[in-house]
Structure 1
Amino acid sequence: MKSSSPSGSEKKPSKGKDRESSKKEEQPREQTQEEKDLKDESSLRLLGALSEKEIDASEQKVSALEQKEKGEGKSTPSATEAQQEPTAPPQEEERESTLSATSVEASTSTSSERLYFSHRLIFFVILLAASCIFIELHFLNARHRWRWDLTRYQRFSLSEKTIKILQSLKSPLKFIVLVPQTSPLGRNLKDLLEEFSLRSSKISIEYVDLLRNPAVFRAMKEKYRGITPRTALVVELGHKKKYFSEIDLRQGWGQKALFKGEEAIASALIYLSQEKKPTVYFTTGHGERELSQARPTSLLEAVSALELNHFAVKELALEEKDIPSDCDILAIVGPQRPFSSKVEDKILRYLQKGGRLFLTVEPGTKVGLSLLLRRYGIRLLKGVLAEPELFRSLSLETTEKDHTYIICKNFSSHPITAPLKGLATSHIYTRPLELSVKDVKKVTADILLKTSPKSYRKILKGYFWQKIGSPQSWPIAIAAVRQEKNNRSSRLVVFGDTSFVNNGYRTLNRRIWGIHADRNLDLFLNSLHWLAERYELLALGKKPLEDRRLDLQPKDLRLIFMLTFVFPPLLGIFLGISIWNIRRS
C-alpha cells in the first residue's frame, strides 16, 4: 500500500494561499470608511467649514494613516502571517463606520450653521450701516439742500439778481399761497418758494386752501383788503403788500403756459423794498427811438423791462423844456439829428449837479455833443466796426466781407459787465469809440466791452466799403464818473450801438437781434442800475431759453457741401477703379 506523506499534503494548500495573497497584492486595496471620512474632513478643511480643533484632529488622523501605509509598503506580510492575523468582526466594522459617518455629519452641520450665522450677521451689519447712512443723508438734505442744475443757462436755478435781492432783505418777508398745492401753479410756487427760503432766514411761507376753508378766506380778507377770489399769491414785506393772480404768474394758457413766478416776485420785492422809484426821462425831438411803437427799431420792450424793474419812464422834449428836478437818469437813445448848443448846455448843467446820462449813438450820425463827451475823455470815431471772427449772419446770404453783426465776449471787470463774463452780447452796425483820460482831471473811466484784436474799422466811400487802419481791439461801450463841485459826482454811460436796446425781431421762433437776443437785456438794465446806484440789482436777470441751433457761416456751409455731396461720390469712384484694376491684374 502506498502511504501519502504528510509533508506533501501540507505544501499544496500553502501554494494556493500564496497565489491568493499575490492576487490580493496585485489588486488595488479598497479604501476603508475611516479613510473616506478623513478625506471628507480634509476637503471640509479646504472649504473652511471645520474649526481649528477639528482641523488638528483630522490632520493627526491623516498623518497616522500615512505612516501606517508606509509601514505596510516596506514589510509585506507572508501568507501565513496574513492568515494568522485576527480579523475584526463585521459588526464592529459597521459600528465604527456608522460612528465616523455620524461624527462627520455632526461636524458638517455645526460648521454649516456657523457659516449661515456669520453670513446673516454680516448682512444685518451692512443693512444697519446703510440705514444709518441713509438717515444721515436725509438729515443733511433737510438742513442743507443741494441741487445740481446741468442746463446750459441754469434754467432751474434762481438768477443772481433774485439771490441778491433775497440776501439784502432787511424786514421779514411772508408768502401766502392761496391756490391748491395739487394744481400745476401750486406745485411751481411751492418749489420756487422753497428755493427762496434756502436763501434767507427772514422768509416764512403759509399755504391756505380757500376752497376747503371759506372761514379762513373771510378772516384773511379782513386783514388783506386786496384779496379777491382770483388771488393766487400774497407777498408781504414789512407793512407793504403785493397781490398776484394766476395771470400775473403765468405766460400763456394750456400746456404751453410758462411759469414766470421768479421774475414777477423779484419785481415785487424791488418795489416793496424801495421807497422811491428812479425816474428815467427819454429825450425826443432829434430822431430818437420811439417808446410806444411795436416796430423792430422801437423801445417798447426796453420800457417794459424798466417798468418791471420799477423805473418810472417819461418823455422829455429838451428843445422846449428844461430837465426836471425829479430826473434821476437822462436817456438819449439813437439820435439822428445833432443837438443844439442850447440843449447841450442844459445837459452840461444837469451833469454838473450830479446828474446821470445814458447815451447810445449810431454810425454816420452827427450828435453834436462833442464838448460834453470831451469832459469825460470820450471821442466818437467815424466808420463801422467789422469782426472777422466773432460774428453772426442775419441770413444765409450774408457774405464773409460783411461782418458788422458782432458777437461780443470781451467784458471788463466793471460792476456793469462783471456778471456777463463767460456770456455774450450782440451788436449790429457799431460805431467805434475812443477813450483818453490823460488830459482830463477828476474823471474815472472804464471800457465796458470791446471787440477782438482782429476787428477793423471801415467807412463807406461811394458804393463800396473801405478798410481803415490796422486791426485792433475797439471799445464798444464806456462808463465814466466825474467828480463835480459840492462833492457831487456825475455818471455817464456811452454805447456806440443802438440795436441792442431795440425791440428786434424773430425768425423761426428765434430772437435774431434786439434787446432779448443773447444777454443784451442784462447789459441794458445793469447800465441803468449802475447809473441809479442800485448795486444790489447788478446781476443776471431772467435766463434766456436755450437755442441749440448752430450759427453756420458761409465757409461752414461750403465745408458741409463738400463733405456730403463731393467727397462721397469721388471716394466711391476711386474705390471702384482700384478694385477693377486689382481684379484685372
Structure 2
Amino acid sequence: MRRWIERGVAVLGSASLLTGLVFAHIDLELVHRGAGGRLVWNLRVLVPLGIGAALLLALAATRLGDVRERLRGGRAAAFGRNLVGSLAAIAIAVLLNLIAAHHPVRLDLTAHASYTISPRTRKALERLAALPGPVTAYVFVRPDHPWLPTLQGLLESYAAAAPHRFVVQRLQPSRDLLRFERICRALGIDPTTLRSANVVILAAPPRTRGALPRSRQVPLEAMTSQPAALGSAPRRGSFRGEEAITRALLSITRPRQPRVVLLRGHRELDRTAADPRARIERACRSLESLDYAVTTLRLDPSHPDPSRLPTDGDVLWIAGARDPLTGPERAAIAGWLERGGRLLVLAEPVLRQQPGTTRTRFVPLGLDALLRPWGVGLLEAVLADPDTVTPLGPLSLRVPVRREPHMHPIVAPLAGLELWLDRARPLALSPAVARERGLRLTPLLGTYPSARALEDPTALLEPLSAQAPTG
C-alpha cells in the first residue's frame, strides 16, 4: 500500500511540475508589472511549480533511509560525481539564460527587414528612460489571427531595443478575459467595448501621483493597410504596425502633443485643394502619423495678433505662399521669431507676366526680408540646367543627393539618389550671420556644376498669364 501511495505522490508531483513548466513556457514570466507599474506574481506558473516541488521533496524525505543504504560502499563516490555534474550543468544553463535575458541579441533575417525598427522609433524608446516606470504593451488578439506573428515580432523588437522599459504582455481572450477586464478598469477603459476586438493597449506610468496611467488603444485593423481574412496569408508590405504603435507611444509619453500650424491667407498649398499639385494632404498625414497636430492660422493682414502665433516649441509652416505677406504680418512673425519661434518655409519662385509684355517677373512675397536676418536669403531667380532637364518642364532639373559624412537626417535616407525638381529657387546662405545668432546652417541639396540661376527665365517659358499653384 505504501509503495502505491509513493508512486501516486511521485506521479502527481511530476505532473504539477510539468504543468508549471508548460505555463512558464507560454507566459515566459514569473512576475510582471500590472497597471501602474505594480509587481504581480504569475500564480498560474508558481502554484503548480510549488505543489510539485513540495510533493517530490516530501517523497524524497520519506525515502532518505533507502538512499543511505544504497550509497554505502563504492557507489557514493560515483553518485557524488554524477550529482556535481548535474548541478554544474543546471547552473551553466541558468547562467546562460540570465546573460541572454540581460544582453539580448536579435538578428532580422527577413527579406524586407520586417522586424527592424526605424531610427524614429528608437529615439522614442530612448525617451522612456526618463519615465518613472516601464511602458507596457497589452496584446489582446485572437491566437488564430493571421497578423499575430508579425505583431509579436514587432513588439519583441521594441522590447529588445528598450529592455525593462518596454514590456510586452500577451493575453489570450479564451483564458485571460477576467485579467484583461481588471487591466482595462485600472486604466480607465470600459472593457465591454473591447471584448470582441483585436487590440494592443499601451500604458505608461501616470504623470502625477494618484492619477490613472496614460494609455492608448491601437486596434489591429489600424495597423494593416489591407486587412487579411482569417485563414489567409497576409499580403507582404501591407502591415503598418510600427507607424501606429510608435504614434501611440509618443502620445502617452510626450508632455504635450506638438503642433504644426499652417499659415493661411496667401494662396498657400492646402490639404483639400482642388488642384492635386497644390495639395499637401500626404505631408499632413505623415506629420499626424508622428503624433503632430496639424492646424491652420489666418492672421489679420492689417492688425495681426502676435498671441495667436504658435508657442511652446510648435512650428509655423508657410507652405508655398503665392501672394505677398503684408508689412504688419511680417513684423509680427519677425518679432515672434526673435522670441524663440520656429518657422518652416517652403518657397518656390512665383512668376507672372508683366502687363503689356511677354516678359515674366518674380513676385516679391516678403519672405526674403523675413529670413535674411537669420542668414538665409531667397534669390529672385529660378534654377535651370540644360544638361539635366527632366520631362517636368523647361525649368526642371535633376539634383543629386550626395553621400556625405555629416548628412542632415532629413535627406540621409535618400543618399545616392537623384531628385527631379521643377522651378527650384536658389538660396544665398550667410553662415557668419547665422553664427552670430548661435545657429548653424546645413544645406540639404546642391545642384550639378552645370546648373545656373536665371533672373529672367522668359527665354525658356511661354508667355505666362496667371499660374496655377504647383507643389
Name the TM-score, length of structure 2 as normaliser.
Answer: 0.61
Unaligned runs of 5+ in 1: 1-134, 466-497, 503-585
Deviating more after overlay: 407-416 vs 209-218: 407-416
Alignment partner, residue 333 of structure 1: 319
User: Are the aligned partners of 2:400 and 2:419 in contact in 1 as well (CA < 8 Å)?
Assistant: yes
Among 204, 225, 233, which residue is 1:237 paired with?
A: 204
Structure 1 Cα separation of the partners of residues 325 and 442 of structure 2: 25
Equivalent residue for 2:287? 306
Between the aligned partners of 2:380 and 2:403, the Cα distance in structure 1 is: 22
**8 A contact 2:399–2:447 mirrored in 1:** no
Say if 1:412 and 1:448, in contact at 8 Å, map to a contact too.
no
Structure 2 counterpart of 1:180 = 142
Alignment partners' CA distance in 1, 2:186 and 2:198? 14
Q: 2:227 aligns with which of 227, 245, 253?
A: 253
Q: Residue 275 in 1 paired to residue 269 in 2?
A: no
Match of 2:401 in 1: 408
C-alpha change, 1:366 and 1:214, in structure 2 (3 Å) is same
Q: Which residue of 1 aligns with 2:4?
A: none
1:175 Cα offset (Å): 1.1
The residue that corresponds to 2:342 in the other structure is 356
Deviation of the 1:337 alpha carbon: 1.4
1:361-413: CA deviation from partner (whole Å, max 9, x where unpaired): 11234221333222122222233324578x69558xx8xx8652434336683
For 2:321, what is the secondary structure of its paired residue? coil
CA distance, structure 2, for counterparts of residue 242 and residue 274 of structure 1 = 13
2:435 is the counterpart of 1:435: no
Q: Which residue identity is paired with 1:333?
A: A
- Residue aligned with 1:375, SS: helix
Bigger radius of gyration = 1
Q: How many residue pairs align between the two structures?
A: 330
**3-state DSSP of counterpart to 1:449:** coil
1:214-267, Cα deviation, whole Å (9 max, x unpaired): 433443443342441214111111121111212212111334472111111111
Residues 439-462 of structure 1 deviation map (CA, whole Å, 9 limit, x = unaligned): 674353413313244241253543
What does residue 244 of structure 2 align with?
A: 264
Structure 2 portions without partners, runs of 5+: 1-92, 206-212, 229-233, 351-362, 462-468
Contact 2:315 2:341 in 1 (8 A): yes
- 1:144 lines up with 2:104 in the alignment: yes
Check conservation: 1:232, 1:246, Cα contact below 8 A. yes
Q: TM-score, length-normalised on structure 1?
A: 0.50
Q: 1:154 to 1:454 in 2, by over 3 A?
A: farther
Does 2:296 match 1:315? yes
Q: CA deviation at 1:348?
A: 1.1
CA deviation profile, 1:63-92 (whole Å, cap 9, x unmatched): xxxxxxxxxxxxxxxxxxxxxxxxxxxxxx
Q: Which amino acid aligns with 1:442?
A: R
Q: Secondary structure at the match of 1:446?
A: coil
Q: Aligned Cα RMSD in Å?
A: 3.5
Cα distance in structure 1, aligned partners of 2:405 and 2:370:
24
Given candidates 117, 120, 129, the residue that maps to 1:158 is: 117
Residue 210 of structure 1, aligned match among 151, 170, 173: 173
Name the counterpart of 2:371: 373
Q: CA offset at residue 435 of structure 1? A: 0.8
Name the SS for the 2:279 alignment partner: coil
Q: Distance in 1 between matches of 2:400 and 2:375?
A: 26
Distance between the aligned counterparts of 1:188 and 1:278, measured in 2?
A: 30
Q: Are the counterparts in 2 of residues 330 and 357 from structure 1 also a CA contact under 8 Å?
A: yes
What residue is the counterpart of 1:448 in the other structure? 443
* Counterpart secondary structure, 2:105: coil
Quote how far apart the aligned CAs of 1:271 are: 0.8
- Residue in structure 1 matching 2:382, options 378, 381, 384: 384
Report the residue type matching 1:277 in the other structure: Q
Bigger relative contact order (CA 8 A; separation at least 6): 1
- Mapped pair 1:219 → 2:182: yes
Question: Are residues 393 and 220 of structure 1, via their aligned partners in 2, closer, same or farther at CA, if it must alter by over 3 Å?
Answer: same
Among all aligned residue pairs of Structure 1 and Structure 2, give the percentage whose two residues are the same amino acid.
Answer: 22
Give the partner amino acid of 2:368. S
Distance 1:381 1:158 in 2: 40
Whether contact under 8 Å (2:310, 2:316) holds in the other structure is no
Q: Is the 8 A contact 1:177 1:234 kept in 2?
A: yes
> Per the alignment, do residues 411 and 319 of structure 1 end up closer, same or farther by CA in structure 2, a change over 3 Å counting?
farther
Does the CA contact (< 8 Å) of 1:410 and 1:451 recur in 2?
no
Partner of 2:317, secondary structure, is: strand
